[in-house]
C-alpha cells in the first residue's frame, strides 16, 4: 500500500482498521489508557498468511519483518505481538531497513497548518533527504498536534548533524516505534487518529 493511501485492509472478510504508513500519527498522549479489541487480534491471528502480511506491510515496509510476524501467529495477546514486532525490528539488516524506508513518506503536517510551516518543513525534509538519501521518519505518537511542527523541525535539525551510521541507528529506532504504533492500531490496541 502506498504511503499516501488512506485505505483499510480486510482480513478474512472482517475489516481491521489500519493506519497506513505516512498517515497522520496517533495523537494520544503518554499516559492515556489504551483499550484493546480482542476480536481484532483474533482476526489478525486467524487471517490468511497473505492478508496478514499485507496488513503488516502497511505497518513496516520490510517483507522479512512482515513474514516473520505473520509466521509466528497466533499471538496470545497484544503485548506478545508488540514484543515480537520489536524483536523483529531490532533484527532488520541494512537492506531490510532500506526496503522499509523506501515506502515511507516524510512526516507531514495537517493540511490546516499555516503555509509558512509547510514551506519550512518541505525545505527541512529536502535537506535531510539530500544528506541521507531517504525520508525523514520520526514517531510522534505521544506528541500533541500543536507541538508536532516544533518536534519535526527540531528532530530534523538535530539529526542532520549525525554521521551516517549514527543516523541509521536513530532512523531504525524511529521506524521501530512507528511500526509498533501502527501495529497496535491494527489490532485495536490504540484508537485511530
From first to last of its 193 residues, the chain has per-residue pLDDT tens of 333 332 323 343 333 333 334 443 333 333 333 334 668 999 999 999 999 999 999 999 999 999 999 999 999 999 999 999 999 999 999 999 999 999 998 877 878 888 998 899 999 999 999 999 999 999 999 999 888 888 999 999 999 999 999 999 999 999 999 999 999 999 986 655 4
Considering the domain architecture, whether residues 73 and 119 belong to the same structural domain is answered as: no
Asked whether the bond before 74 is cis by omega within 30 degrees of 0, the reply is: yes
Give the pLDDT confidence score for residue 158 in this predicted structure. Answer: 97
Considering the domain architecture, whether residues 87 and 116 belong to the same structural domain is answered as: no
Segments forming the whole domain that contains residue 48: 9-100+176-186
Considering the domain architecture, whether residues 53 and 135 belong to the same structural domain is answered as: no
Considering the domain architecture, whether residues 19 and 85 belong to the same structural domain is answered as: yes
pTM above 0.85, yes or no: no
Considering the domain architecture, whether residues 134 and 181 belong to the same structural domain is answered as: no
Structural contact between residues 128 and 154, judged by C-beta atoms closer than 8 angstroms: no
* 193 belongs to a structural domain: no
Considering the domain architecture, whether residues 124 and 74 belong to the same structural domain is answered as: no
Backbone torsion region of residue 60, taken as left when φ is above 0, otherwise alpha when ψ lies between -120 and 50, otherwise beta: beta
Considering the domain architecture, whether residues 93 and 26 belong to the same structural domain is answered as: yes
* 109 belongs to a structural domain: yes
Considering the domain architecture, whether residues 38 and 71 belong to the same structural domain is answered as: yes
Q: 14: which strand partners?
A: 11
Structural contact between residues 8 and 178, judged by C-beta atoms closer than 8 angstroms: no
Considering the domain architecture, whether residues 138 and 62 belong to the same structural domain is answered as: no
Cell numbers found for residue 90: 531490532
Q: Which residue has the cell 531517504?
A: 134
* 25 belongs to a structural domain: yes
* 192 belongs to a structural domain: no
CA distance 19 to 36: 16
Q: How many domains in the chain? A: 2
Considering the domain architecture, whether residues 93 and 181 belong to the same structural domain is answered as: yes
Give the pLDDT confidence score for residue 33 in this predicted structure. Answer: 31
CA distance 24 to 140: 9
Considering the domain architecture, whether residues 57 and 138 belong to the same structural domain is answered as: no
Sign of the alpha-carbon dihedral angle for 14, 63, 143, 112:
negative
Amino acid at each position: 500500500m502506498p504511503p499516501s493511501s488512506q485505505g483499510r485492509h480486510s482480513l478474512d472478510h472482517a475489516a481491521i482498521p489500519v493506519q497506513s504508513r505516512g498517515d497522520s500519527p496517533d495523537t494520544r498522549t503518554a499516559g492515556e489508557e489504551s483499550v484493546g479489541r480482542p476480536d481484532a487480534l483474533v482476526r489478525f491471528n486467524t487471517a490468511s498468511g497473505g492478508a496478514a502480511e499485507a496488513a503488516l506491510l502497511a505497518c513496516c515496509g520490510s517483507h522479512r519483518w512482515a513474514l516473520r510476524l505473520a509466521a509466528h501467529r497466533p499471538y496470545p495477546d497484544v503485548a506478545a505481538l508488540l514484543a515480537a514486532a520489536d524483536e523483529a525490528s531490532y533484527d532488520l539488516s541494512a537492506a531490510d531497513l532500506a526496503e522499509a524506508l523506501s515506502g515511507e513518506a516524510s512526516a507531514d503536517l495537517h493540511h490546516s497548518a499555516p503555509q509558512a510551516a509547510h514551506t519550512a518543513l518541505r525545505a527541512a525534509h529536502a535537506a535531510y533527504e539530500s544528506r541521507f538519501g531517504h525520508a525523514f521518519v520520526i514517531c510522534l505518537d505521544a506528541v500533541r498536534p500543536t507541538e508536532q511542527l516544533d518536534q519535526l523541525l527540531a528532530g530534523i535539525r538535530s539529526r542532520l548533524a549525525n554521521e551516517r551510521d549514527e543516523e541509521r541507528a536513530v532512523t531504525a529506532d524511529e521506524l521501530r516505534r512507528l511500526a509498533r504504533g501502527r501495529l497496535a492500531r491494527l489490532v485495536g490496541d490504540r484508537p485511530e487518529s
